[in-house]
Amino acid sequence: MIVGLGEWGLQYLSIEEHCRIAKEMGFRYLELGIGGDYPGRIQRNISLRQIGDLITTMQDYGIKAPFFALDSDFTLEDPEALRKMKLQVTHDIQLAVRFGATHIRLFAGFELASNMTEERWIRMMQAFAEMNELCCAHGMVISIETHGRITKKNDGFIQEHTTTTEWNCLQRLLRELPPDVGFNFDPGNLKTVAEGRPLTDYAQLLGNRINYCHIKDWRQVDDYWVACAPGDDDLDYNALLKEVTFQGVYLIEYEQTNDVVEGIGRSLTYLRSVRPNLRME
């Protein structure tokens, strides 16, 4: 098992800080993000010179970053909003190409699965077909994250089903997406909406379509969920990983920003306890 470092919890630190932390902790692989007003994400108006400087920085730290997390929502109801979203994602994919990306993490969208009309479903699938054609032209693959709709509550989130977490929708996605479109299997996200269904069922359903994986957990507090490290709660990665055929880099995604380095460390300690042959390069 090879592990790398996801980007979300590092969003308020510079990308050079991502590289420094990764190197000090022994990681070789990083996930980078595009968009949003965060110092730890690549800005969409980045210059060619700045791109070159970032690539040089990663090389100086001995870090590879083939995994790119992009923001997307193809479940938007308004056709004009969806058109603008596709233009944004197209731009971001082309930007990721300049960094030598191999995997593009996308979201299907955040509309509730129960609100998806057939018209919206068809438009979502067409958007993925267009993005997949662009990615294939550059030798990259899409990884759709299993992610629910989140609503902020206290220090956590209420989580609800979207097309990438609801069981029947996931089955339909697998049938109707281009066969080379894969999934970012995020067991922590699925745990929050699984409603008693074993996470091994999701692993078996997605099977060889898993081409990306985030490793984290969520802890339930009343009716909402707080993100935490694997090992902080009850997600049994030892049992789950036995059902996952994915052989690529698993990315630790510790989401809390106030103790992100400590949280990454706890994640590593736990993963080493269940996978003694864990490697980081």
Task: For residue range 56-79, list pLDDT tens digits in order.
Answer: 999 999 999 999 999 999 999 999
Structure tokens at 194: 């699984």
pLDDT of amino acid 113: 98
140 is a domain residue: yes
220 is a domain residue: yes
pLDDT of amino acid 111: 98
CATH number of the domain bearing residue 207: 3.20.20.150
pLDDT of amino acid 187: 98
SS3 58: helix
138 is a domain residue: yes
Domain extent at residue 80: 2-274
269 is a domain residue: yes
193 is a domain residue: yes
Residues of the chain with confidence (pLDDT) below 50: none
pLDDT of amino acid 37: 86
Counting Cα atoms < 13 Å in the Cβ hemisphere of 164 gives 29
280 is a domain residue: no
User: Other C-beta atoms within 10 Å of 255: how many?
Assistant: 19
Q: For residue 73, which phi and psi values (nearest 5 degrees)?
A: -150, 105
Identify any residues that bridge with 217 across adjacent strands, giving them in sequence order: 228
- Per the structure, the count of domains in the chain is 1
279 is a domain residue: no
Identify any residues that bridge with 221 across adjacent strands, giving them in sequence order: 224
pLDDT of amino acid 36: 87
